[in-house]
Amino acid sequence: MMPVLSLGEQLPLWSCLPFVCMLLSIALLPLLAARFWHHHYPKVSFFWAAVMALPFLAVYKSDAAHQILHIIIADYIPFLILLWSLYTVSGGILLRGSLQGTPLVNTAMLLMGTILASWMGTTGAAMLMIRPFLRANQYRRNRTFMAVFFIFLVANVGGALTPLGDPPLFLGFLHGVTFFWTFRLIPQMLMVTGFLLLCYFAMDSYAFHREDPAAAPTEKIPLQLVGAHNFLFLVGIVGAVLLSGMVDWGEISILGVHRSLQDWVRDGLLVGMGILSMLTTAITVREENNFTWSPIIEVAYLFIGIFITMIPCLLILKAGSKGALAVLINAVREPAHYFWAAGCLSAFLDNAPTYLTFFSTALGSFYPGLPESEAVVRLMAEKPLYLKAVSAGSVFFGACSYIGNAPNFMVRSIAEEAGTPMPSFFGYIVKYTLVFLIPGFVLVTLVFY
């Protein structure tokens, strides 16, 4: 079987076109053909997946089949299991009572979610906090910017401090970066978080004073947390993910795809946590929480197309200076280059392999020929700015688009289902990413890199 790097070296850049078309479909069809998209988006996803997969299989045969099976078994299925378990468990936690979404309350909730994200993952924190956040602001007319800043902070930036926060940092942990090393990103995270919270508070204060005071709820109902036992299942999910990175129980091969036994055990535990949550939580609690399966179903259909069409992009990226993106890889030399290159690719590709590519680029540039275990220790001690740049870029830039990080699409779907209008794919980028995120990232570059 052809090595991954050899295959990546052969693929032309135009092999990424199905991925581009998949993104354009997500961006444009809801605007240009909303009814068609609503009824047929699974077919659109499968169509672009087939457009990539069939020629890929015809040309590269068993090597292509292995890559497709690998991304489904080793990446897509675990990705979906993690999302499903977090979505199911968090959907069983209900905050009753009259929590009124004022600028101060909303900012406090965003800050709380940002803090939680590094300890229970951006997906876990987002799924836990999004419904109470939306309910608190249900009486507000202008809610779109609230959900967008929620994606910025809770679903992305907040995951920068520990390997539990975001998949790229977990990959670094698996490759020898110590668990608490990422605490060194606190200054960068505080700068971005502070900048975004200030922008949010200013926008929310302006919008709040334009609201009709009569629309605010007047009934004062004490806050009550229902389904709190589900926090035990959330702890179980976090523990299962952490365990899978700390033990080595060997490998199991399924259809030629090698996966660690501990990864299969983790996935089984995650499914178990979700099932236990469904069995132990009253249906009325989920109904009162406006819980439906629609968001997770939408993510499942769309991301199978994204994952499969993304294969050539990832293979070319992994080929490094020998692939079609050699110009980009070879141009990365300074910490600022690593921050922006890892970040811009993470905004539209899977940020985990993007992190690993530039992590490996740094190791190869500074410590060629050294064993990885020794090189990583030296990188942390002697060239920490480069590792910080790769780490921060991979995590922060996930907020730049709906597909930049797993929970972004989930939050959008839940918000729309709850009646909060969300910007289009390009509207999100033009109205929010370019206006708020990019200036914040420029500030981080000027101060730290």
**pLDDT value at 3 more than 70:** no
pTM for the predicted model, two decimal places? 0.85
Determine the Cα–Cα distance for residues 140 and 289; give it in Å rounded to an integer. 19
Are the beta carbons of 158 and 202 closer than 8 angstroms? no
Predicted pLDDT at 83: 84
Q: Which residues contact 271 (CB under 8 A, 6 or more apart)?
A: 81, 84, 85
Predicted pLDDT at 259: 87
- Mean of the pLDDT values across residues 332-344? 92
Segment among 139-153, 202-216, 226-240 with least mean pLDDT: 202-216
- Mean of the pLDDT values across residues 287-293? 87
Band of the pLDDT at 350, cuts 50, 70, 90?
A: low
**pLDDT value at 175 more than 70:** yes
Are the beta carbons of 422 and 412 closer than 8 angstroms? yes
DSSP class of residue 183 equals: G
pLDDT averaged over the chain? 89
Predicted pLDDT at 236: 93
- Mean of the pLDDT values across residues 225-250? 88
> What values do phi and psi take at 421, rounded to 5?
-65, 135
With CA atoms as reference, report the closest residue to 12 among 44, 59, 47: 59
Q: List the chain domain ranges.
A: 10-211+219-448
Of the chain, the percentage scoring pLDDT greater than 90 comes to: 51
Predicted pLDDT at 218: 64
- Mean of the pLDDT values across residues 93-97? 81
With CA atoms as reference, report the closest residue to 130 among 116, 142, 18, 119: 116
For residue range 277-286, list pLDDT tens digits in order: 999 999 999 9
Segment among 71-85, 87-101, 176-190, 253-267 with least mean pLDDT: 87-101
